[in-house]
Copies of this chain bind each other. A is one copy, B any other.
Amino acid sequence: MKNTLNVGMIGYKFMGKAHSNGWRQAPHFFDLKARPVLHTICGRDVDAARKAAEQLGWTHVSGDWREVVSNPEIDIVDVTTANDTHAEISIAALRAGKAVICEKPLAVTAAEARAMRDAAKATKRVNMVCHNYRRIPAIVLAKAMIDAGELGEIYHYRARYLQDWIVDPAFPLVWRLQGKIAGSGAHGDINAHIIDLGRYLVGEMDEVCALLHTFIKERPLPEAEGGLAARGGKKMGKVTVDDAAMAIGRFKGGALFNLEATRFALGRKNGIQLEINGSKGSLYFDFEDMNRLKFYNNLDPAGRHGFRDILVTDAAHAYANAWWPGGHIIGYEHTFVHTLADLVNATVSGQSVQPTFEDGYRNQVVLEAMENSSKQKQWVKIKY
């Protein structure tokens, strides 16, 4: 088998930067079964893609994703484009025999996501949706503890994803605030993450009642795209996505969930706050302190109970042990390194690697159930 895997990445913005770093860094910190090569970066604006290639370390540049997908030199296709293009590119790549990793949310609708999942099944290619937070060492530890029964029966999953980047009404109507391109707002962008973590850590959801809301109904149309630095002009446009999404519901296993995702929580930049309460203990996690996991162990002796502040940087902690000695923390981008390292190994061995397109599809089903619940103002059953 080959010692290298050639990667073709479609998209080159925020996620392109994060994925590129992951591809570059993975072989320097993990024992991989093959070395990933940053072969081709692709974007409709070839000049911008070329500039990105130089900055991010890619060898070739393409202006047409079909070219990349059909290139026999490419082993893995990495899809980091806007949400409404995920399905077409990913399905084509799978059919061209590539391993595929696609950014979340997997698609704009559950139907699209189902088609992607079906294509993955049909082609039997390695397929992964990039829910990178599953590979935060603290989350890996949480999963291991829950699976080992350290929390006992789970009663509550309480999760927030809090941001504040559009509180200013003058912030313009960028693509993420346009329903046609983004599918939804805080809901698909960040609620999707805590839904995925809930499914990963606790199990499948059964029924839900949700409320999606838009606080600022109109915003200035952007004069030019520019991420967080985008500036609006004088013309106004209608905001067609939610600013915030809340949901209460039940897991199939009997636990309750309470979710909230918002872009209107001043001071919370990327605050993913999870709490899980079980019959034997509780866990708490905050992404802004992502190297820590708080653990309350009800089996501790009398008078010695308390949330333990585990700094998840020890040799005993998965992924963390590849980096630095205990107490030397890692950051946001490391989650992509972990994800892509596992994808490389899975691609070489031809094994499935979670989270798959099936996970991405189920996530989309939950997202859609919540959207329906909000529109119809009623409880909705979650059916895959």
Min CB–CB distance A96 → chain B (angstroms): 29
Is A277 within 8 A of B260, CB to CB? Answer: no
Whether the pair B277, A325 counts as a contact (CB closer than 8 A) is no
A379 at the interface (CB under 8 A from B): yes
Residue with the greatest number of chain B CB neighbours at <10 A, chosen from A270, A280, A296, A329? A329
Per the bound structure, the CA–CA distance linking A69 and B334 in Å amounts to 34
Q: Which of A80-88, A192-200, A207-215 contacts B (4 or more CB under 8 A)?
A: A207-215
The bracket for how many chain A residues form the interface is 35 or more
Q: Which of B24, B55, B310 contacts A305 (CB 8 A)?
A: B310
> Please, which residues of chain B bring their CB within 8 A of the CB of A164?
277
Q: A246-B256, A247-B248 are in contact. Are A270 and B211 (CB under 8 A)?
A: no
Residues of B within 8 A of A329 (CB): 288-290, 329, 331-332
Judge whether A231 is part of the interface by a CB distance below 8 angstroms.
no
Q: Are A267 and B281 in contact (CB under 8 A)?
A: yes
| Stretch of A59-67, A312-320, A344-352, A357-365 with 4 or more beta carbons under 8 angstroms from chain B | A312-320
Is B167 within 8 A of A313, CB to CB?
no
Q: Report whether over half of chain A's contact residues are helix, strand or loop; otherwise say mixed.
A: mixed
A156 touches B271 (CB 8 A): no
A269 touches which of B228, B280, B326 (Cβ 8 Å): B326
Give bound CA distance, A314 to B331, whole Å.
14
Give the docked Cα–Cα distance between A327 and B161 (Å).
Answer: 12
Residues of B within 8 A of A330 (CB): 331-332
How far, in Å, is A329 (CB) from chain B's closest CB? Answer: 5
Most buried by B among A156, A213, A267, A281: A267
Residue in B closest to A314 when the chains form the complex, CB atoms = B303
Q: In the assembly, what is the distance between CA of A326 and CA of B288, in Å? A: 10
Which residues of B have CB within 8 Å of A293?
A: 306
Is A28 an interface residue when CB atoms closer than 8 A count as contact? yes
Instruction: State how many angstroms separate the Cβ of A57 from the closest Cβ of chain B.
Output: 6
Query: B308–A260 contact, CB under 8 A?
Result: no
Chain B residues lying within 8 Å of A165, measured Cβ to Cβ, are 325-326
**Min CB–CB distance A45 → chain B (angstroms):** 20
B309 x A282 contact (CB < 8 A):
no
- A265 within 8 A of partner (CB): yes
Which 3 residue pairs are nearest across A and B when measured between Cβ atoms? A269-B327, A267-B296, A270-B327
The 17 listed contacts between A and B (C-beta, < 8 Å) are A25-B25, A209-B211, A209-B248, A266-B278, A267-B282, A267-B298, A268-B327, A270-B328, A287-B327, A288-B329, A289-B289, A289-B329, A304-B308, A307-B309, A323-B331, A323-B332, A329-B332
